[in-house]
Structure 1
Amino acid sequence: MKASAVRGHLDGLLLSVLESGPLHGYAVITAVQERSNGVLELRKGTIYPALNKLERLGLLRSVWEADGERRRRCYELTDAGRRSLAEERSVWREFTAAIGSVLEPAPGPGHAT
């Protein structure tokens, strides 16, 4: 699936995969891919700027961790991030219900199926 398909939903996806605990950037990419059964393939060039933006907004915090001789940045949700995720989920449910009612309308009285 094209990256443009997630436009407008990337923040919610990232917050969601970080809900269960801290992850480094590549693990975030892997978690999104695994949760979507391989449908969503996000690139580093998309993820890292988004993670940095979410951190600037106070929805994430990060710490540098040593991984052998390498260091990697791990991201985790803040309380504000958890509240934002709850709002993202609410908006998503409302959005998908509205789109679903247009794309797959319930048959009304007197309409043949």
Structure 2
Amino acid sequence: FIFGTETLGRVPPSLTVLAPSSEELQQGKATVMCVANKSFPSDWRLSWKVDGRSSSGEESRSPGALDGLYSWSSTLKLSTYQWMKVGSVTCEATQGSQTLVLEILSRDQCSHL
């Protein structure tokens, strides 16, 4: 079933923030990923905050939409040392100047880290 895009209006993505793996941390790296699912239109952007301060990540987009909805991800690269000092990481989905969705990952929620 394909949605007519004109009927969708604005659909905010659902966000999932994935913590770095313990194997990666042992290598001195910490990659945090934010996956945004099923949004419309395609002009949503993901941004990061580390302990409330803006931080830059790498956004990767798939070329097309599934069912008329867009999914994409952004990765935030830190060192293990930086990760161990972090209290929380926030992924924000913005459209224009508005932040409409955010997902917070607290490091102390990650038992193996």
Q: Which one has more relative contact order, counting CA pairs under 8 Å at least 6 apart? A: 2
TM-score (structure 1 length as normaliser): 0.26
Whose radius of gyration is greater, 1 or 2? 1
TM-score (structure 2 length as normaliser): 0.26
Name the one with the larger strand percent. Answer: 2
Name the one with the larger helix percent. Answer: 1
